[in-house]
């Protein structure tokens, strides 16, 4: 069925849109529609059309009110910005056509006596009456709406397809340009990598000691809260303190400047744990002094009980310390474990019992609190000798039973087994804890001359860097620890060679508790060399 265009006029009166059907006369007599089944169908046709136009009338009134509320002029319909309304009204009329078509088909079957010409005549009269009454009732101004022909619709469709195709082509072109730019960037990056020398991981252990007027980072007098009395050389009788004025400078990389504020900022909501022997305890005390600057004004809380670090009855000191900085919720702790092995008393009821020293098991504290650590630093070494084994009443166990391997009877081999076993265990734990950063610190060197600590050995030198100031080797001097962490997720904190150059920085004979003729050439004065260890640790974090 061809859609017949109509001419409509709208006015902004109270009855803004009024469309009236004309009366039709019948040949059978009187006014009204033709009699018979055709009358019913034609009547329904008119009813449906009337209902549709009433709906359109309601839409127009609503739109008129909305626009009057916004202050448009009364001839707003003449404005080009409101043409869309008329188009929508016409579209609603067109939507009625399928229903009308169905009614006409039914009418055709129900009124076979009518010819096509008669049917067309009825529709023509209705159409003409509708146009005439609409124009007479509504009046001017008017907006003419015409329905495009099939040829015009096809042209519009073709134009629309071309626009869509052009848009898709433009989008594809933009995507292609992005891909080309990305490819060019990747290619340039690859060429740049080829031109530049291959970048290696920074070797903080290779470098030299240099004088620095900004050192030390804290005062030995001011940091007595954290320093053990036997290691605070400023409160001893030592006459020179030139050892405090040196800084470690790596050869091929820069270490960030350490500040307590920056450390706490980086370690916000984190726990840093040192587990090891007395050299690990020195590194822990050094870090506490570096973070606080040796001052007592920074709020610090004792959180030792959270980790079971309490002084046992009859003990000289607790088995560790833990302190929290409330400003950043940062915890720094130390746990004493000279061997890093799991120790089990063989006879719990006997105070003088021996302990099963499980060479292939980590200390229980690690297994118990590893989930709470964000940074872990392990060390061991100087308690692996016959004298310490006897004093500590250690008996070597492997695979849960007393050791029968003659090779492990050599304490050096037993130590190596433990270091490798713990590195392997820790590597497996890091697989499930990717946020944990674990370090194995290498051995801190001793500088006894002409004997050991109990046989008259000494370290009287007070001249800094008398044996040289530079480490030129690439590999670690502690080949055992380096070999144990090689190929694992555990990092190495390599401090052996750089510390070897600082024989003048030991406590020597100036310890407050030292006996006459006994030198401490193992531990370090603080401030001192362990501060450099923590600077390297900070750089590796």
pLDDT at residue 29, rounded to an integer: 44
Task: Please state whether the predicted TM-score (pTM) of the whole model is above 0.75.
Answer: no
pLDDT at residue 12, rounded to an integer: 40
The answer to whether position 98 is within a domain reads yes
Residues 131, 235, single domain; the answer is no
Q: Residue 312 corresponds to which tokens in the numbers above? A: 């046992």
Model pLDDT for residues 148-163, shown as the tens digit of each residue? 455 555 554 555 455 5
The answer to whether position 26 is within a domain reads yes
- Angle between helices 83-95 and 97-110 in degrees, nearest 10: 30
The answer to whether position 388 is within a domain reads no
Domain C-terminal end among 132, 147, 162: 147
pLDDT at residue 313, rounded to an integer: 83
The answer to whether position 153 is within a domain reads no
Residues 133, 269, single domain; the answer is no
pLDDT at residue 151, rounded to an integer: 55
pLDDT at residue 427, rounded to an integer: 98
Q: Residue 100: which H helix or E strand, with range?
A: helix 97-110
CA–CA gap between residue 414 and residue 529 (Å, rounded): 29
The answer to whether position 80 is within a domain reads yes
Strands 401-402, 437-441: pairing kind: unpaired
The answer to whether position 192 is within a domain reads no
Model pLDDT for residues 354-365, shown as the tens digit of each residue? 999 999 999 999
Q: Chain centroid to CA 481: how far?
A: 32
Domain C-terminal end among 114, 147, 180: 147
The DSSP string of 386-449 is: HHHHHHHTEEEEETTEE---GGGGSHHHHHHHHHHHHHHHHHHHHHH-TT-EEEEEPPPP---B
Q: Residue 249 corresponds to which tokens in the numbers above? A: 């400078």
pLDDT at residue 512, rounded to an integer: 75
Residues 110, 222, single domain; the answer is no
List, in order, residues 6 or more apart from 381 with CB less than 8 Å away: 277, 279, 415, 443, 444
pLDDT at residue 237, rounded to an integer: 82
Residues 353, 465, single domain; the answer is yes
CA–CA gap between residue 83 and residue 142 (Å, rounded): 12
Q: Residue 425 corresponds to which tokens in the numbers above? A: 């265990």
The DSSP string of 34-79 is: PSSHHHHHHHHHHHHHHHHHHHHHHHHHHHHHHHHHTT--TTGGGS
Domain C-terminal end among 97, 122, 147: 147
- Domains in the chain, number: 2
pLDDT at residue 388, rounded to an integer: 95
Given a cut of 50, the residues of the chain with pLDDT beneath it are 1-34, 67-87, 89-92, 94-98, 100-101, 103-123, 125-127, 129-148, 156, 160, 164, 166, 176, 180, 183, 189, 192-199
Going by the DSSP 8-state scheme, the letter that residue 362 receives in this structure is E
Residues 244, 333, single domain; the answer is yes
Host domain of residue 528: 207-359+370-378+436-540
């Amino acid at each position: 069925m061809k859609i017949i265009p109509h001419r409509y006029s709208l006015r902004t009166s109270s009855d803004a849109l009024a469309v009236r059907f004309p009366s039709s006369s019948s040949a059978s007599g009187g006014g009204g529609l033709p009699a018979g089944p055709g009358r019913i169908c034609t009547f329904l046709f008119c009813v449906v059309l009337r209902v549709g136009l009433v709906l359109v009338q309601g839409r127009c009134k609503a739109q008129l009110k909305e626009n009057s509320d916004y202050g448009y002029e009364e001839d707003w319909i003449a404005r080009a910005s409101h043409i869309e309304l008329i188009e929508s009204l016409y579209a609603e009329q067109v939507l009625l056509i399928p229903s009308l078509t169905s009614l006409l088909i039914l009418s055709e079957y129900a009124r076979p006596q009518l010819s096509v010409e008669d049917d067309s005549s009825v529709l023509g009269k209705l159409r003409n009456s509708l146009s005439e009454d609409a124009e007479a009732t509504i009046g001017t101004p008017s907006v003419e709406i015409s329905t495009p022909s099939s040829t015009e619709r096809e042209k519009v469709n073709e134009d629309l397809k071309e626009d869509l195709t052009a848009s898709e082509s433009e989008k594809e072109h933009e995507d292609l340009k992005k891909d080309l730019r990305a490819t060019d960037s990747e290619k340039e990056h690859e060429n740049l990598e080829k031109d530049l020398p291959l970048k290696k991981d920074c070797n903080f252990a290779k470098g030299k000691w240099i004088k620095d007027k900004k050192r030390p980072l804290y005062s030995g007098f001011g940091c007595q809260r954290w320093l053990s009395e036997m290691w605070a050389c400023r409160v001893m009788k030592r006459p020179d303190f030139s050892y405090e004025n040196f800084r470690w400078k790596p050869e091929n990389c820069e270490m960030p400047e350490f500040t307590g504020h920056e450390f706490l900022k980086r370690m916000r909501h984190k726990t840093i744990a040192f587990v090891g022997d007395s050299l690990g305890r020195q590194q822990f005390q050094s870090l506490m002094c570096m973070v606080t600057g040796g001052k007592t004004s920074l709020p610090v809380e004792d959180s030792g009980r959270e980790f079971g670090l309490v002084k046992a009855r009859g003990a000289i000191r607790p088995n560790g310390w833990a302190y929290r900085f409330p400003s950043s919720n940062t915890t720094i702790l130390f746990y004493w474990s000279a061997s890093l092995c799991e120790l089990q008393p063989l006879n719990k009821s006997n105070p003088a019992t021996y302990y099963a020293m499980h060479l292939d098991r980590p200390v229980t504290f690690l297994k118990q609190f590893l989930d709470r650590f964000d940074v872990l630093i392990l060390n061991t070494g100087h308690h692996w000798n016959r004298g310490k084994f006897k004093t500590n009443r250690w008996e070597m166990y492997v695979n849960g039973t007393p050791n029968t391997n003659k090779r492990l009877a050599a304490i050096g081999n037993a130590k190596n087994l433990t270091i490798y076993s713990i590195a392997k265990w820790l590597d497996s734990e890091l697989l499930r804890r990717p946020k944990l950063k674990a370090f194995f610190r290498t051995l801190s060197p001793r500088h006894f001359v002409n004997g050991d600590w109990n046989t008259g050995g000494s370290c009287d030198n007070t001249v800094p860097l008398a044996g040289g100031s530079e480490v030129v080797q690439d590999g670690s001097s502690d080949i055992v620890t380096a070999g144990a962490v090689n190929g694992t997720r555990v990092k190495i904190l390599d401090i052996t060679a750089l510390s070897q150059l600082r024989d003048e920085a030991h406590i020597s004979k100036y310890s407050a508790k030292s006996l006459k003729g006994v030198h401490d050439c193992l531990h370090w004065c603080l401030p001192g060399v362990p501060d450099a260890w923590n600077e390297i640790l900070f750089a590796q974090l």
